[in-house]
Amino acid sequence: METRNNFLIVPSTVISVVNIFPLSDRANLNMFDVRYQLRLNDLYDFSSTSIVHYQMTMQHLDFLDHILVGEKPMRFNHLSNKLYIDQDWTTDITAGEYLIMEVYRRLDPATYTDMFDDIYLKRYTTTLIKRQWGQNLSKFNGTAMLGGVTLNGPELFSTAIAEQQKLEEEIRSNYEEPAHMQQG
């Protein structure tokens, strides 16, 4: 990745940027930090302390950090491959530090050839070809061919539409994640 002004140039295979992991170095804690004191006083011996209490306290501290400090706002433009991170680049990050991002990217079909071996992709492609073929043949509906065979494009088209809808429902039921429940 390349940095220019106040944005990063991302590779063209990146489709979306989901998250940028915190830029602060939490592994280097000083002795006056709450996390350091918690580890020093409560976790010197795991046999006498419940790890559940530690986990709940760390989640609470992370929540307070999220509320009081917040996360760095970011914007990603897929068309120009630019990731804008709204921060002060002179003080918030030093030269040589890494940014770790969670991204979705396109797979290269030349490298990952197994993507074309998916049975649903094959069935869906066959159904779409059948649909287009039926649409093309419907222009010549009722035309008698050699041997007495007549072209029936509308029937081929309607069966392809039904197969497409059935296959889309099957893909949704097998691969789509359920809707997330919202709590208010």
- In this structure, the answer to whether residues 98 and 135 fall within a common structural domain is no
Bigger pLDDT: 30 vs 62: 62
Q: Once rounded to an integer, what is the mean pLDDT over residues 51-63?
A: 80
Residue 184, in any domain of the structure: no
Of 83, 105, 127, the last residue of a domain is 105
Among 3, 13, 165, which Cα is nearest to 99's?
3
Share of the chain above pLDDT 90, in %: 16
Among 7, 176, 12, which Cα is nearest to 105's?
12
Of 75, 105, 135, the last residue of a domain is 105
Q: What is the pLDDT of residue 41?
A: 67
Residue 183, in any domain of the structure: no
- In this structure, the answer to whether residues 93 and 12 fall within a common structural domain is yes
Q: What is the pLDDT of residue 28?
A: 54
Q: Which amino acid is at 35?
A: R
Residue 182, in any domain of the structure: no
- Among the residue ranges 17-21, 32-36, 66-70, 119-123, the one predicted with the least confidence is 32-36
- In this structure, the answer to whether residues 33 and 95 fall within a common structural domain is yes
Q: How far apart, in whole angstroms, are the C-alpha atoms of residue 22 and residue 73?
A: 11
- In this structure, the answer to whether residues 36 and 96 fall within a common structural domain is yes
Q: Once rounded to an integer, what is the mean pLDDT over residues 69-77?
A: 78
Cα 151 off chain centre by: 45
If one counts the domains in the chain, the total is 2
Instruction: State pLDDT tens for residues 76-135.
Output: 888 888 888 887 777 777 777 778 888 999 888 888 888 888 899 999 999 999 999 999
42 pLDDT more than 60 = yes
| Cβ-proximal residues to 80 (8 Å cutoff; 6+ apart), any chain | none
- In this structure, the answer to whether residues 70 and 123 fall within a common structural domain is no
Average pLDDT of the residues of the chain = 80
Residue numbers of the domain that contains 78: 2-105
